[in-house]
Structure 1
Amino acid sequence: MTSQKTKFAVYNLAGKEKAFYLTEQVKLEIKPDAIPKKMVAHSIIIIDRSGSMYYDLEPLKETLIKLLTLDEYSNSDLVITLISYSSKGDVTCHFQRVPIQELMKPDSSYIAEIKAIHVTGATCISQSLKLAQELIQNEELTAITLHSDGYANDSSFNSESKAIEVICHELQKISVFVNTIAYSPYSDFKFLAKIANSVSGTCLQAGNIKEVYDALYNTGNVLKEATGIVIEEPLASDYSYQIFFSPTAQKINGTNQTFKVFGLKPEDEGFIYKYKQITKAAYEQLKDVPIAQNDTSVYLFAKANLADGNLNTAKYALASTFNATLTSRHAKALTNEDIANFTQDLEIALFYPHILAEHEILDHVKVNNKISVLELIDILSQHRQHIIINLKHLQANYQRKGIKRVNGTRGENKELITPWLEIEYLEPGDYVQMGSFDINRNTATINMLLRRKVQLITAAEKTPITEVAGVLLNDLMTFNNYTIVSDGEINVKNLKVKISSKKAFEALEEVGVIDGGEFDYQKEYTLELADLPLVSFAGNYSSVEGLFTQLAEIKTLSSIFAAHLREESDVFIPAQIEELKKHYLSKSLYLNFPTTNEYTDLKVALSNGTVDSRVSYKIDIGGTEILNLSKLSSANSFLDKRYEVFDGETGEIFKKPTFALGLNENITFRAKTLSSRTKVTKADDLMKGIFDDFLGIETTRKVAEILNLVGAGSLALLLQAKHAGTPVDKQEIINAMTTAKEKLDSYTEQVYREKISPLVFYIGATGLLPDEMNAQAMTADELGSKYPHLQFAKSEQEGTFFVVGDTVISVYAETEYYSKTPVAV
């Protein structure tokens, strides 16, 4: 064996050094006299027949039969075992250790058995691997090919992962390798890759049936040789990790302990890379050791960390190769599908290094040092009163990121019924005042809200409506959101503006987003956004520890107030509110037209190209008991679920209780007796503590604590008096609730604006956690097994999760539909 040492530095995406490594590369030599005699070859094929394989199972069976036909001619000594699995206890061995020539005879019952397999049940992988383990014999080379399109979660992910870990540990001791094939973007690629990595195999994310064919064909080629070559290497005490790499066998297996590698042919090349983290001083002292950044050792380091769930380190390692092409492509990878694509590109770079000639390889990490969009938004917000936007240009170049809505409702035949009123713009010029900017609460999205002055007119006669319910409509505004950044991508490439303040001009000129020269208030400038980084990698992000519980409590109380005030106002009487509604005006005098989708059939709209879909990445902040705020019920639904509302004088129980009833006299609340079938969640427990205190059922002072936090303690005193039996004026309660709700919502908005939204935007824009948040990526099943109280929606089950202290950060993909802008002809 020959060896050589190199070293490399790990840089973050800001180009700053983060860590230093010494690497030893050992080339293996397989000598002819060391090659064992030819062994019996045993192929164990394990098929996932869970319900989600409905569309993939038939093509898989056809492909399998074709390959067995080839194997009959090329490897006549091969024996085949076929196992299929679904729910726990539902594993089937269709046939075992059948010689390939027997299996492929005319009218073979074995082929009929393959064709008869059909989908059933859930996904319990461990039982199939356990059965496969029992069928392995000594003195033969066994290849297990495991197919799956989902998550090993029956009966639970925790039990499955533990059982599979034990089986893999046992398989490491014998002449077997396990290749895994993930069938869809929703497969647990990370877990399947871990199985393959631990038992000398490879994992494939199959985009089509041809890739499945290739994977099975390659396995067959290894078994044809069936020499039983084994590579065993202990990990030296002064190294922390080692990776076996064979470009010819296309194997990459990493471990922090001794490994055994099976499934090699005599002509295969093999290398072992050993890694040791060292200090910067030691790194600089190793002057005779060459620096190797764009090197196999660094790409392998990225691959190993990706498999271990260390996403930040994997991305930093990729950036440290100075490969700008791949860094740009995968810097934002977060979801399971993203990680599978990231893995595939790393493997291509390692197995087919000539492809790197097509990549942009630099001598440093490619860093965009321009002002970030987030910082620019702050400057624009400070000076927005002195900036006007060319609205016509914005509208002409804008791509809508949601479904276009039109005013009106749909009739029985889906015809559009338009409102009897419409709006007329009072300032129809090309320019409008620059709007306010808002960072979305759970996506890397920035919206610009533009306000325009309008008047209400009748749709038929075009007659202006100047007064409604005794209110002059002099200041009616319409609001339109324009998405500047959408899910971490620039959506508006540039803005054409005029600037009326020299101070505003100088602020924008200084950061290089407009052309220089003398200030000219008549000139139209172009703010270029397309080439700006979204965030600064050098930024500091506030801790979010403890914020989720606080926000959940505030949301619960605010929801209670909203339910009380739905039909109430601290300004208008009910008759006025009703009159405002008829004119599509809210209690706050905002326009509130009914709207409906522009299309009537989504499938038709998708087929004719007027609507398309995209993936939106949601980032939520939660806790280890409640995953996010969406798990909280609305106030009225929770009231109906957990409480009875009745008339204190007559004893009449209201069948459909609402909080609006609570504003009346003689209304009493009491907790329901729950049946044994009622499922109580941690979100329910949190809400009940606040509800009991608010309703006077149990005094916990929780409501007063929340109200005092936001400066609305006067309402707490009114509620205390009411619970003590002191009469309280209804309007006084309404006024106090209105003020308290405004303060609660304002406090929440401030918390998001200052602490949560910047973090969410950073994660969504970069695909990274801030460096100070050191956490491994987890799947929903891994997180759920650690924190069993958590509940996951369907979209969340495919997400990626990070636990930082008592906070859970969730990242998951959702399909969003949007109206496409017609292409000009």
Structure 2
Amino acid sequence: MAKTPAGKSAAPKKTAAPKKTAAKPKTPKAKVTPGAPALAPAAALARINTRSKFTLFNLLGQPRGYYLVEPVELERDESAGSAKSVAHSVIVVDRSGSMYSDLAATKETLLKILTLDEYAQYNLLVTLISYSSVGDVTCHFERVPIREIMKKDSKYQKDIKSIRTSCATCISQGLRMASEKVKAGELTAITIHTDGYANDPSSNSEATALIKLCDDMSGKDVFVNTLAYGNYTDFRLLSRVANAGSGSCIKAGDIGAVYSSLYNSTKTLGSSVTPPIEVPLGEYDYQVFISRGAGRANGSAGTLSIRGLKSEDDAIVYKYKKLTKAEYDKLDVPVEQTSEGVFAFAKGNLAEGNLNTAKYALGSTFDATLVGAHARALTNNQVAAMAQDIDALMLSDPGQLSAHTVLDQVPVNKKIPFLVLINLLDANRGNFVINRQALQEVYVRRGLKRIPGVRNDDGTVTEPTLKTEFVNEDTYLPISSFDVNRNTATMNMMLTRKVRLVPAAGGAPITEVAGIKLDSLSTFNNYTLVGDGELTVPYLKVKISDKSLFDKLMNEGVLELDGAPATKYDKDQEYTLRLDQLPIVPPFEGTVELGGVFDDLAKLKVLSSLCGAHLKEDAADLTPEQVEELKKHYLSKSLFLNFPTTNPYAKLEDALSDGSVDTRTSYKIDVGSKHILNLSKLHSANKFLDRMYEVVGADGKPMEKPAFEDVLDGSVTYKHKTLSAKTKVTKVDDFMKALFDDFLGLRPNGAVVKILEGAGADKLAAIVKDRAKGKQPGRKEFVEALADARKKLDARSDALFAEKLSALVFYVGATGLLPDEVEAKAQSADVLAGKYPDLAFSKDEKEGTFFEVGDTILSVYAKTEYFSRDK
């Protein structure tokens, strides 16, 4: 092969046929076959050596793109590696509190790796760095020959043993320090260990810093491997870092995987390694580097930087060119769907964070085994499992494909999406009950543990003097409500149970407080069925009282009886309602249309707020003494129970350090326009009334601090307020004023009537029409119309959200990514504010990432969440 000087671009060469290759599968022509899918012939996954083409289908089996794939081998100077005299291993260890349980085993593994006899002859230098919170990064030793570390009871072994856990996770400072140790003329391997999320000082800044550090090392003779420990790791980010750093990301389910990864990288450093190679993209649209020997699969839509290859490692690059349908049909090359080229396209996109494209590519291989396991992947753990399985097939055991079920078309998951199922269950809440005890047995909690009581200044906890007891066993309970969060990938289910109040020390139930009967006390328990896209309950045990609901669920294939599909209805039978086999969101089809959605939601919110402001509920007629006595019994005026709770730890820093509390990153999504950033920017009805209007009472005098609940009798008149010079009128004011003027009859324009009639609130629509003509409604009629309208406006808002936004919010909330169907470039708050000066950003909102989708602005905010862990 032609020699390639270190750091120079490699000229790709068409691949020659390998000496030995596995039998190539006979892949059917890419098409969607009507009727039942057929099985393709079983065969191992072969390395292709000729140009081919494939169709990229979505998960519904619809074509989304057409590609030419061309395999090329790398031209390498195999003799150059022998001249390398020094290699450098930089080990970067997470010592944040979440590593409390793993750190001891990690240190022991490091000691084993660094004291293997076979390394005695290696000219290998080792640097050890550890990190936790921002500013807390330590270099324990630097550029120490491995022979010195191997000496019995060496200082360096003691340095490893001395590492202790503390607080939060700032990975970038560790990688930055590691990058500063890289020197010209020697191969460097950086290995990052972590079991958490890089979110200190913030998730966005950490992700940006890590990728930039890897990009800055491009062209240098250094590669970056990442080790993701356990199930609480940001695998997607670590995968992106490894991909950008020309390395690999390993999900270390056990310490054995950690050992293997460290051993392999150390062996690479001690071997004859070829110089770094830069592979330009050229006329293609994407490329993926594959090496089974090196255990690597790296993708890029630009130049590929390949470092740390041993001279004997295989090395192939698949280059992809997107075609039109006409170009695809005309191209005279074989169609290869179930090929290494398509699996590589899936892995490359997955490593870069293009989740939907990766899943589409996996579906386009027609491999029903892998598609069935991973088409639902959204969360970190699911993406990690998908990456592991693709790696196992492509890099470790290509022969396993012959044991997979491979079809002649995309294996489409026809099961009802989780969000659609919840809508069905919500509409039929009165027609089934769930087994509460069975729910509690499988429920996985995600938040911080709380304990009853108040924490005192000295750290002790004073527990409540009262507690509750359940009135009934309540084995089966109806669902009180389902609540789909509008800003996160979270869905809660509420159960209500009757309780009685009793002394904590024992004694008779308390049936009355200050003359108020306590015979209707209830507790409200929220169960998070989906939290940040993660399903917390695999199934529900249910009894169904309505045959039509049974038939719907049976037809959707989600009901089981004794492990088999349920087929016969029995109102007394307990069925298993499977949730863990369903896609959380339906597959995206075509483009995501959001035009006008924000304006519609904003108008509904303003009018609902107007209705609610008129309908202030009358408080119970209680004396101050009664209110105080209820408070002593942990009861509100409305007889809601309010027991105090506190954290099981005195200081959060201590809990983070000892690993009992950890952090993860969640994502909040807001929708807005180019003038109003999100719905929270809208004023409350009473605040806007006071801000922009003057309310004149029957006595002809302006009211101070006017509120809508005080003007229901219609004896007031409304006027526009003369604004002071200090009052800055915003686009929010303009938006709300048009609706208020119409509603109050000051400047009728028909907009409010149109919205009300669209929501079915005809009673209030008629009143607004009359007010435009100067006719005021009677108080009772007005209150009834307002209550009816508020209910219908909120229902219309919920329906609009469910139709247009719910799936998108769940996708982004689970992944932190926009689906690939949304072609929008990420922007900072500064960039967006420069384009649209009407937008107002709070301090926290300035940390967000923003996307323009037509006339809509999508805002994504990364937020650090605390949760309890078992040590």
- Taking structure 2 as the reference length, what is the TM-score of the superposition? 0.62
Query: Which residue in 1 is equivalent to 2:822?
Result: 774
Map 1:687-726 onto structure 2 (within 5 A).
709-710=755-756, 712=764
Taking the aligned partners of 2:165 and 2:434, their CA distance within structure 1 comes to 61
**Per-residue CA distance 1:397-435 (angstroms, 9 max, x = gap):** 9989999xxxx999x98678689xx9999xx99999x99
Query: Which residue in 2 is equivalent to 1:607?
Result: none
**Per-residue CA distance 1:90-137 (angstroms, 9 max, x = gap):** 876665544444566666489659947886887373795377357512
Map 1:12-161 onto structure 2 (within 5 A).
12-27=58-73, 34-43=79-88, 45=90, 47=92, 55=100, 63-70=109-116, 73-76=120-123, 78=125, 80=127, 87=134, 96-101=142-147, 108=155, 112=159, 115=162, 123=170, 125=172, 129=176, 132-133=179-180, 135-137=182-184, 140-147=185-192, 149=194, 150-151=197-198, 157=204, 161=208
Query: Which residue in 1 is equivalent to 2:640?
Result: 594
Query: Which residue in 2 is equivalent to 1:2?
Result: 16
**Per-residue CA distance 1:589-642 (angstroms, 9 max, x = gap):** xx9763579999989xxxxxxxxx9x9998855237988767889889999999
Query: Which residue in 1 is equivalent to 2:359?
Result: 315
| Bigger mean CA deviation after superposition, 63-72 or 267-276 | 63-72
Alpha carbons 2:133, 2:200 under 8 Å: kept: no
Query: Which residue in 2 is equivalent to 1:267?
Result: 312
Q: Please give the secondary structure, in 2, of the residue aligned with 1:181.
A: strand
1:622 aligns with 2:674: no
Alpha carbons 2:286, 2:319 under 8 Å: kept: yes
In the alignment, structure 1 segments of 5+ residues that lack a partner are 454-459, 585-590, 604-612, 675-679, 819-825
Map 1:286-365 onto structure 2 (within 5 A).
289=334, 291-293=336-338, 295-353=339-397, 356=400, 360-364=404-408, 365=410
1:366 aligns with 2:416: no
**Per-residue CA distance 1:265-315 (angstroms, 9 max, x = gap):** 22222222222233445545556525241x322221111111232211101
2:640 is matched by which residue type in structure 1? P
Taking the aligned partners of 1:201 and 1:601, their CA distance within structure 2 comes to 41
**Per-residue CA distance 1:745-771 (angstroms, 9 max, x = gap):** 344234235444466678899999788
Taking the aligned partners of 2:735 and 2:858, their CA distance within structure 1 comes to 22
Of 591, 594, 605, which residue of structure 2 is paired with 1:544? 594
CA RMSD of aligned residues (A): 7.4
1:41 is matched by which residue type in structure 2? V
Q: Please give the secondary structure, in 2, of the residue aligned with 1:125.
A: helix
1:225 is matched by which residue type in structure 2? S
Q: Please give the secondary structure, in 1, of the residue aligned with 2:64.
A: strand
Taking the aligned partners of 1:26 and 1:533, their CA distance within structure 2 comes to 39
1:317 is matched by which residue type in structure 2? A
Map 1:358-437 onto structure 2 (within 5 A).
360-364=404-408, 365-369=410-414
Q: Please give the secondary structure, in 1, of the residue aligned with 2:68.
A: strand
User: 1:277/1:440 Cα in 2 relative to 1: closer, same or farther (>3 Å)?
Assistant: same
Q: Identity rate of aligned residues, in percent?
A: 29
2:120 is matched by which residue type in structure 1? Y
Alpha carbons 2:416, 2:556 under 8 Å: kept: yes
Taking the aligned partners of 1:792 and 1:328, their CA distance within structure 2 comes to 43
2:822 is matched by which residue type in structure 1? N
2:315 is matched by which residue type in structure 1? G
Per the TM alignment, residue 42 of structure 1 is displaced from its structure 2 partner at its CA by: 3.5
2:364 is matched by which residue type in structure 1? S
Q: Please give the secondary structure, in 2, of the residue aligned with 1:37.
A: helix
User: 1:639/1:505 Cα in 2 relative to 1: closer, same or farther (>3 Å)?
Assistant: closer
Q: Please give the secondary structure, in 2, of the residue aligned with 1:24.
A: strand
Query: Which residue in 1 is equivalent to 2:798?
Result: 749
2:297 is matched by which residue type in structure 1? I
1:245 is matched by which residue type in structure 2? I
User: 1:658/1:27 Cα in 2 relative to 1: closer, same or farther (>3 Å)?
Assistant: same
1:15 is matched by which residue type in structure 2? G
User: 1:181/1:750 Cα in 2 relative to 1: closer, same or farther (>3 Å)?
Assistant: closer
Query: Which residue in 2 is equivalent to 1:457?
Result: none
Q: Please give the secondary structure, in 1, of the residue aligned with 2:322.
A: strand
User: 1:636/1:68 Cα in 2 relative to 1: closer, same or farther (>3 Å)?
Assistant: farther
Per the TM alignment, residue 161 of structure 1 is displaced from its structure 2 partner at its CA by: 3.1
Query: Which residue in 2 is equivalent to 1:252?
Result: 297
2:183 is matched by which residue type in structure 1? I
Alpha carbons 1:177, 1:201 under 8 Å: kept: no
Alpha carbons 1:552, 1:629 under 8 Å: kept: yes
User: 1:321/1:260 Cα in 2 relative to 1: closer, same or farther (>3 Å)?
Assistant: same
Taking the aligned partners of 2:214 and 2:510, their CA distance within structure 1 comes to 76
1:2 is matched by which residue type in structure 2? A
Q: Please give the secondary structure, in 1, of the residue aligned with 2:270.
A: helix
1:196 aligns with 2:196: no
**Per-residue CA distance 1:337-357 (angstroms, 9 max, x = gap):** 443443333222322225835
Alpha carbons 1:391, 1:431 under 8 Å: kept: yes
Taking the aligned partners of 1:652 and 1:47, their CA distance within structure 2 comes to 66
User: 1:497/1:115 Cα in 2 relative to 1: closer, same or farther (>3 Å)?
Assistant: closer
User: 1:344/1:627 Cα in 2 relative to 1: closer, same or farther (>3 Å)?
Assistant: farther
Taking the aligned partners of 2:167 and 2:490, their CA distance within structure 1 comes to 41
Query: Which residue in 1 is equivalent to 2:618?
Result: 568
Per the TM alignment, residue 244 of structure 1 is displaced from its structure 2 partner at its CA by: 1.7
1:544 is matched by which residue type in structure 2? L
Q: How many residues align structurally?
A: 760
User: 1:632/1:180 Cα in 2 relative to 1: closer, same or farther (>3 Å)?
Assistant: farther
2:268 is matched by which residue type in structure 1? V
Q: Please give the secondary structure, in 1, of the residue aligned with 2:115.
A: helix
Alpha carbons 1:485, 1:492 under 8 Å: kept: no
Query: Which residue in 2 is equivalent to 1:606?
Result: none
Taking the aligned partners of 2:93 and 2:840, their CA distance within structure 1 comes to 27
Alpha carbons 1:311, 1:776 under 8 Å: kept: no
1:774 is matched by which residue type in structure 2? V
Taking the aligned partners of 1:119 and 1:396, their CA distance within structure 2 comes to 33
Taking the aligned partners of 1:360 and 1:258, their CA distance within structure 2 comes to 34
Taking the aligned partners of 1:506 and 1:108, their CA distance within structure 2 comes to 71
Taking the aligned partners of 1:629 and 1:401, their CA distance within structure 2 comes to 30
Taking the aligned partners of 2:307 and 2:550, their CA distance within structure 1 comes to 67
Q: Please give the secondary structure, in 1, of the residue aligned with 2:71.
A: strand
Taking the aligned partners of 1:111 and 1:480, their CA distance within structure 2 comes to 53
In the alignment, structure 2 segments of 5+ residues that lack a partner are 1-14, 18-48, 455-460, 499-507, 562-566, 631-636, 650-661, 834-838
Alpha carbons 1:124, 1:160 under 8 Å: kept: no
- Taking structure 1 as the reference length, what is the TM-score of the superposition? 0.64
Taking the aligned partners of 1:617 and 1:73, their CA distance within structure 2 comes to 46
Alpha carbons 2:89, 2:269 under 8 Å: kept: no
User: 1:635/1:532 Cα in 2 relative to 1: closer, same or farther (>3 Å)?
Assistant: same
Query: Which residue in 2 is equivalent to 1:181?
Result: 226
Alpha carbons 2:131, 2:169 under 8 Å: kept: no
Alpha carbons 2:539, 2:580 under 8 Å: kept: no
Query: Which residue in 1 is equivalent to 2:27?
Result: none
Taking the aligned partners of 2:568 and 2:141, their CA distance within structure 1 comes to 84
1:193 is matched by which residue type in structure 2? S
Query: Which residue in 1 is equivalent to 2:271?
Result: 225
Q: Please give the secondary structure, in 2, of the residue aligned with 1:129.
A: helix
